Structure 1
Amino acid sequence: MPTRVEQFFSHLDYISGGIEPRFFPFEGSRDLPRVTVVVYDDVPEPGMLTGITYGVSLADHPHWRLGKPELCISVRSDDLRWPLVLGHIGETQRGDNPFHYGDTINLGERIAPDSEMTAFVIFAPAVLDRADFADINVGETRPINICGLYPIHEAERLFIHDHGLEAFWQLGWDPYDVGRPSVV
Structure 2
Amino acid sequence: MRLYLDHLSDWAGREPESHLITADGTEPPVFAFTCPGRFGMNTISGFTYGLSLVPHPEWHLGSPELFISMDSDNSDWVLAAGYVASAWRGKERYSAGDVFDLGDPISPDESEMSVLLLFLVTDLEPEFTRIELPGGVVNLVQLYPMYESELALLQEKGAAEFLSTEDVDFHDPRRPPLNH
Fold-level match, TM-score > 0.5?
A: yes
* Alignment equivalent of 2:138, drawn from 136, 140, 144: 144
CA contact (8 A) 2:17 2:35 kept: yes
The offset of 1:150, in angstroms, is 0.6
* Alignment equivalent of 2:14, drawn from 16, 19, 40: 19
Correspondence 1:161 to 2:155: yes
The offset of 1:29, in angstroms, is 8.1
Q: Deviations over 1:78-134 (max 9, x none)?
A: 222111111211111111111111111111221111101110111122221110012
Which residue does the alignment assign to 2:177?
182
Q: Deviations over 1:41-74 (max 9, x none)?
A: 1122111001101111010111111110111110
Q: Secondary structure at the match of 2:145?
A: strand
Q: Deviations over 1:156-177 (max 9, x none)?
A: 2221123211221221211210
Q: In 2 relative to 1, CA 127–19 (structure 1 residues): closer, same or farther, beyond 3 Å?
A: farther
Of the structure 1 ranges 51-60 and 170-179, higher mean CA displacement relative to structure 2 is found in 170-179
Identify the structure with bigger relative contact order (alpha carbons < 8 Å, sequence gap 6+): 1
Which residue does the alignment assign to 1:117?
113
The offset of 1:40, in angstroms, is 0.6
| TM-score, structure 2 as length reference | 0.91
* Alignment equivalent of 2:44, drawn from 45, 49, 61: 49
The percent of aligned pairs where both chains have the same amino acid is: 31
CA contact (8 A) 1:32 1:58 kept: no
**Total equivalences in the alignment:** 177
Please report the RMSD computed on the Cα atoms of aligned residues, expressed in angstroms.
1.6
Which residue does the alignment assign to 2:165?
171
Extract structure 1 runs of 4+ deviating beyond 3 A.
Answer: 28-31
Is there any run of 5+ residues in structure 1 with no aligned partner, and where?
none
